[in-house]
A and B are shown apart, each in its own frame.
Chain A
């Protein structure tokens, strides 16, 4: 994974597969910390499964034998003095947290966060996303349920809507001082 946005796209897919109806993606940049949280209300995992998710040779899929999403972000987080933490309850959902050293030389760049969020929202229509970005003073939040309410019967996958979402997120993140 080249950047943090790709990790977010990847980790959020786990929530999609867990049949979540709402996925919260929180990014916090504060002090020395760069934190990514993905919280879903999907099917959750048993304690036994939870212990195995950081093992690259564990996956719940049958199409292949490796599961690298969490091991890769764990490696990247730990390289910057950070960590990955997972809490989960069967039937309730999963909370994923990764902390990076914000100014550590090995912290991957943020990458195309606006494009990633726009693709997540438009590419997974069966569920909703709440995206929040918080830094020292300010915060920006976008709820896909609001977007869908405004759109009414216009499909959220309409290309012009996707590019609009991307521009809107980009504008607002720059406005609150995010440096990509």
Chain B
């Protein structure tokens, strides 16, 4: 049986990660990274938002695209869950609906990598999803 991972292993991993972060120095400039918010309320979770979020984290890491993926509340588009909000550096946020794994892959390939819009955009007017919009 392989060894059970512990916080000590995390400590060892940190030094390696730290050198990478310092090289890029991107974490100090979140506006230069792709930012994704996954809607994670009852409606989103029941529709598979967790799988979508996992997929996005893994896929963008595998493709070495610097991204911050976080959770947010219900955006009010429960009919179109899972929904995600993507903010490309220097662009206005865009909300996509019905983001299953297939759609998520399409968004990564077309929108995030090439800035090409894909079907499934929910037209909304606001600055960004924050708690004000979620309450």
Contacts and interface: CB of A to CB of B under 8 A. Distances in A.
Interface stretch (A34-42, A44-52, A78-86, A115-123): A115-123
B99 to A, nearest CB: 16
A175 interface: yes
Q: Of A123, A147, A162, which is in contact with the most chain B CB atoms at under 10 Å from its CB? A: A123
A112 B41 contact: no
B46 A160 contact: no
B6 A9 contact: no
A31 interface: no
B69 interface: yes
Interface residues of B, number: 40
Nearest to A142: B7
A17 B134 contact: yes
A17 B50 contact: no
B86 interface: no
B45 A10 contact: yes
A4 interface: no
B132 to A, nearest CB: 10
Interface stretch (A20-28, A63-71, A95-103, A129-137): A63-71
Interface in B94-132: 131
Contacts of A139: none
Given A17-B131, A69-B42, A159 B60 contact: yes
B17 A147 contact: no
Given A167-B5, A168-B10, A155 B27 contact: yes
Given A61-B134, A160-B61, 14 more contacts: A6-B46, A13-B73, A63-B74, A123-B70, A147-B10, A153-B21, A154-B17, A155-B27, A157-B70, A159-B57, A162-B57, A163-B58, A171-B4, A175-B4
Interface of B: 4-7, 9-11, 13-14, 17-18, 21, 27, 38, 40-43, 45-46, 50, 53-54, 57-58, 60-61, 68-71, 73-76, 78, 131, 133-135
